[in-house]
Structure 1
Amino acid sequence: MKKITAVVKALFVLLVFSCSSDPVEKEVKVSSIVINGDNVVGAESKQLSVTVSPSSATNKEVTWNVSDKNIAVITETGLLTGLKNGSVKVTATAKDGSGVISEKNYTVSGIKDPVVLVESISINNVSITDGKPVQLTAGVLPATATNKELVWTVSNDAIATISAEGIITPKINGTIIVTATAKDGSGKSGQLQLVISGVTIVYQTTVRGESILLWQRNNGGWGKAVADLNLYNTQQTAAQITTALNSKNLTDTTIDNGHVVTELRWLLADYKTTQNPNYLAAAEKAIDWLFAAQYANGGWPQYYPDKSGYRHQITYNDNAIANVMNLMWDITKSKNNLDLVNEKYKEKAQTAFNKGIEVILKTQITYKGKKTVWCAQHDEVTLLPALARAYELPSFSGSESVGIVRVLMLVEQPSAEVKQAIKDAIDWFNGAKLFDIATKKISDASQPSGQDLVVVASPGSVLWARFYDLENNQPFFCGRDGVAKKTLAEIENERRVGYAWYGNWPSTLIDKDYPSWKAKNGL
């Protein structure tokens, strides 16, 4: 929440990086699934696959199950392992919520001895202090397990990679989780937290990327120490470096004014051009911070973990949550460089996005029996409109509500509730139009700021106020005394010229986005 100049910069960042604010094409649901291949499995495990129709289906992933786990087991990737001779039914279910399934009966034969599944896996404890590759080994129990082969993975391949044989190759210093998973279909796995140090490889860098890394807090987020995000593009001074290093443990990390979302998007852009794994690791650490910061009800506080004052509130102000929701959407769709992050984030981002939609629907304000728009901030417990700073009273927001509606428009196959929420918000915007006025900044030596902002007649123009009161749905303006006024001229000069009280925020939403969204959804 900055002055007008900062708001303009934040809006510029939003326009550049929130490409997914435009409505997207409809999701294509699965209509049929066919399990490929014959229906016999022998002593060797059998990798199953499916053909999904239509070929343009958005999500072709399936969930695998078997009818009798005494006869055979199957992994989440479709590896079918017979345990004893007999018959078993395999089911593949679409993950896109369409409810489409495919079933196939398999005959298990040729198993002479009982199959013994893996019961536990323990990875031998090692550390890497010289930055060099290390061969990992694991103990598999019972010793009589029929298939002791393992699949090796790491939690963050920006820090290190691992081969099929368990050779781990460090890229940068850091801590990762190594997982060894049994290939016999038992689902058993073992993990090891591995600390890597001593890596001395020099990677290509950018001024922006290094500045962002410098100011990243240890918890993964960023504070407002670099208030103007564009200043990351300048080489940091010795004093700034000292300040940044001394503030690593601070908890004033925030999604306000584009922070966290912008930094991590820029890190990914710089990673794409440099392949510097430090940038990818830092971006993923920031994504982890966003997941941790989300409330169970789906909202995000303005700050996390410092929730003092009004920082704990669910914050739509300055498009804070809209920025996060657009990021979560991009992760689920592998868009705008989010295809560079670990695949594990997709499912978590989908869950976070869905929860975010739920709280958006619950916080939409009802006025005279009809849903309207949103306040810039809502209480995280009651979900009611809430006070932030003295001049940011509970209200209908003519600005932030625009970004919220665009987030709702991202929802594929929107429910009746989502459709109605969008329609109700558009109705409110249309009813909140202010005609034939404009604002004009003038020089005025008598004012403390040397300038003033006045409302003037402007036939044919349309504006919206930043705030509308909850009682009468009328524009109001507020200074630092916390008392609502009916006109802009009534508040002090510092607040009058230092805040975006009027704007045309909903115009494109009403004229272009909403008609396009309706057409795409057959409305």
Structure 2
Amino acid sequence: MIHLLRCSTLVLASLVVCGASSTCNAQPRFHRNLLRNDTEWFRSEEAKAIADSVLEYQSPQGGWPKSTDLSKSPRTPDDIPQPGSGRANSLDNEATTLPLRFLARAVNATGEAKYRDAFEHGIEYLLNAQYPTGGWPQFWPLRDGYYSRITFNDGAMIRAMTVLRDVAKGEPPYDFVDGELRSRAAAAVERGVDCILAAQIEQNGNLTAWCAQYDEETLKPAWGRAYEPPSLSGDESVDIVRFLMSIEEPRPEIIAAIEGATEWFRKVAIHGYRFEEFEDENGERDRRIVADAEAPPLWARFYELVTNRPLFLGRDSVYRYEVVEIELERRAKYDYYGDWAQDLLAEHYSAWSSRHDVASSGGPDGGGI
């Protein structure tokens, strides 16, 4: 009874930890929580069926589509997003990087050559998609529009670099990767780090944070969607800093980038407010900023490049400085505020500075608006 209840709860939560010995009959979705399963599960028929399905969705270029349940084998060729479509060959929403992580586990558990070949083809995709300036687009082969900008938005570039970094290290489950491919992955990561350092925005000579998108040639902040302006990101910049903190032997430029960004996060932290969801008089979901002296610090999704003022845009692309001025549809569905940097400042920075003998410059309440 307990086992069945646990299984039902996990399925409802889209978590897949019903392993080889489980009696669950629900079809698991392709989700990062599959990676929580142990090696025994990756040897199971259920896991191999999912891995075989993942192979079917891989494009000729080596990438995978976004917003697609890769655990369900396509019934017809039309179920597979084709190159040039709106979903194929993407790094958005964990496309390509999550399948690679899953296949690495499958290779590690089973040793099957078909999984290894697909994995290596996927790594070649990541290497081919990298711009000469070191960044990665949201889609490759390239699509017209903001999709071809260097994309930190939603973690796209950092996820690509994380997979390549782990491949370069050659530790399980990536210990099957040969030395030549590992070396190329390491070189790509180095170029990516150089891109990150070059793209960090300065204000009056002080290093701050990053924009969510950049021009792939000039490395200047660029537009994303209509409501995503060239700006300093209070969200995406956190993942960038965490990646830089993961570098085992950071050179002085990396240390300076981390110090500059964490100081900027302290400076622009918003104290005394919370961003809450409520139901308006028409019964519709809405969100608002509310004064609350006990609330933990918040950060805006966008900060104006020069002034550091929180910035809010709707689908009309008009710059505004109050979230209430944005149309309901965007205000209710888009995260204009979040607690993104709280753990970075309260925990990660302290641990990193201790490891590298860097004098801490404060905690999450070291400054703010």
TM-score range, shorter chain: 0.7 to 0.9
Q: Which ranges in structure 1 are unaligned for 5 or more consecutive residues?
A: 1-11, 18-202
Q: What's the CA shift for 1:13?
A: 4.2
SS in 1 for 2:286: strand
Residue 340, structure 1, aligned to residue 176, structure 2 = yes
Q: Which has the higher helix share?
A: 2
Residue 455, structure 1, aligned to residue 266, structure 2 = no
Residue 221, structure 1, aligned to residue 221, structure 2 = no
CA distance in 2, matches of 1:377, 1:446: 36
Comparing 347-356 with 511-520, greater Cα deviation is found at: 511-520
- When the two chains are superposed, the root-mean-square deviation of aligned CA atoms in Å is 2.5
**Structure-2 residue corresponding to 1:301:** 137
CA distance in 1, matches of 2:275, 2:348: 26
Q: What's the CA shift for 1:15?
A: 12
Task: Assess, with a 3 A threshold, how the Cα gap between structure 1 residues 494 and 457 changes in structure 2: closer, same or farther.
Answer: same
From 250, 267, 272, the counterpart of 1:431: 267
Task: Assess, with a 3 A threshold, how the Cα gap between structure 1 residues 490 and 375 changes in structure 2: closer, same or farther.
Answer: same
SS in 2 for 1:455: strand
**Structure-1 residue corresponding to 2:24:** none
Task: Assess, with a 3 A threshold, how the Cα gap between structure 1 residues 445 and 219 changes in structure 2: closer, same or farther.
Answer: farther
**Structure-2 residue corresponding to 1:374:** 210
CA distance in 1, matches of 2:351, 2:301: 25
Residue 207, structure 1, aligned to residue 49, structure 2 = yes
Residue 232, structure 1, aligned to residue 74, structure 2 = no
From 339, 348, 352, the counterpart of 1:513: 348
Q: What's the CA shift for 1:373?
A: 0.4
Count the aligned residue pairs.
Answer: 320
- Residue 77 of structure 2 aligns to which amino acid in structure 1? T
CA distance in 2, matches of 1:481, 1:287: 38
SS in 1 for 2:142: coil
CA distance in 1, matches of 2:147, 2:34: 25
CA distance in 2, matches of 1:252, 1:342: 28
CA distance in 2, matches of 1:248, 1:403: 29
Task: Assess, with a 3 A threshold, how the Cα gap between structure 1 residues 459 and 335 changes in structure 2: closer, same or farther.
Answer: farther
The alignment's TM-score, normalised by the length of structure 1, stands at: 0.58
Query: Which runs of structure 2 are paired with 1:59-78 in the superposition (5 Å)?
Result: none
CA distance in 2, matches of 1:396, 1:389: 15
Query: Which runs of structure 2 are paired with 1:299-338 in the superposition (5 Å)?
Result: 299-338=135-174
Q: What's the CA shift for 1:16?
A: 6.9
Comparing 260-269 with 286-295, greater Cα deviation is found at: 260-269
Q: What's the CA shift for 1:237?
A: 5.6
**Structure-1 residue corresponding to 2:123:** 287
CA distance in 2, matches of 1:247, 1:337: 30
SS in 1 for 2:315: coil
Q: Which has the higher strand share?
A: 1
Query: Which runs of structure 2 are paired with 1:110-509 in the superposition (5 Å)?
Result: 206-226=48-68, 231-233=69-71, 235-236=72-73, 238=75, 241-245=76-80, 247=82, 252-444=88-280, 446=282, 450-461=284-295, 462-509=297-344
User: Which whole-Å deviations, capped at 9, do the CAs of 1:478-497 have from their partners, x for residues lacking one?
Assistant: 11000121111111111111
SS in 2 for 1:232: coil
CA distance in 2, matches of 1:16, 1:453: 33
SS in 2 for 1:453: strand
The alignment's TM-score, normalised by the length of structure 2, stands at: 0.80
Q: Which ranges in structure 2 are unaligned for 5 or more consecutive residues?
A: 1-30, 37-44, 359-369
Identity of aligned residues (%): 36
